[in-house]
Amino acid sequence: MSASAVARPFAVVTGASRGLGLTISRYLAGEGYDLLLTARGAETLERSAGDLRIYGGAIEVEPGDVTDPEHRRTLRDRVAVHGALSLLVNNASELGPSPLPPLAQIPLPELERVYRVNVVAPVALVQELLPFLERAHGEIVNISSDAAIGGYAGWGGYGASKAALDLVTRTLAHELADRGIGAVSVDPGDLRTSMHQAAFPGEDISDRPLPDVTLPFWAWLLHQDPRAVSGHRFQAQAERWELPA
């Protein structure tokens, strides 16, 4: 990671209470980061944060919904205490209805919710936290999906939102380069998580790997200069991590 204005690098991770968000948070804690973690479930979030405190860093929690402007302002105020932000991981995601409906039948209020969580909230958090990212020459990591490019039946709402997030990421990479901020999107691949289970209700998804399978990728990415990889889209489980242009 880039040099930070604080003694220890500081990161914000959304959707951090379980699954991939918790895996990333655990990796960062082990690498010496101080963390501000957010997710909707307060009890699960606090329990997960407690497990991370064994690494010795400051682990703060702020339960809430990233679509709530007041919650985002609270996150901004808590980041301001640190003065600089080395890393923003926009991991919180909304799948949409379960079972997954055809795109032509998805209820529009639920589609709007998918976009508010998966596209609008990451942009809004960048807007709130931009001064602190600039101070640290930090990095934005947006969690994407293979559904963004797959056109899979039933995944249209979710996939379209992640495709939009990919474009958001590339645009931010171009627009923020002069401010020393990097932005990448990461497709973590199929994982054994509660969200993936919701996409396949009643089915056995035990053949999917646990989120820890992505750790080699995070160990590589988060030791790169954010500006050198900015604008790229990565696949955390692929033999070649970078998706060809």
Active site amino acids: 158
User: In 10 A of CB 231, how many CB atoms?
Assistant: 17
In angstroms, rounded to a whole number, what is the distance separating the alpha carbons of residues 209 and 191? 5
- On whether the CB atoms of residues 105 and 151 are closer than 8 A, the answer is no
User: In 10 A of CB 178, how many CB atoms?
Assistant: 7
Angle at 163 between CA 42 and CA 35, to 5 degrees: 30
Residue 138: burial class (beta carbons within 10 Å; 0-12, 13-18, 19+): buried
Q: Say if residue 226 is preceded by a cis peptide, omega within 30 of 0.
A: no
Neighbouring C-alpha atoms within 13 Å toward the C-beta of 115: 11
Q: Bridge-partner residues for 233, per DSSP?
A: 185
| Widest pairwise Cα distance in the chain | 51
Residue matched to tokens 């035990």: 206
In angstroms, rounded to a whole number, what is the distance separating the alpha carbons of residues 170 and 165? 9
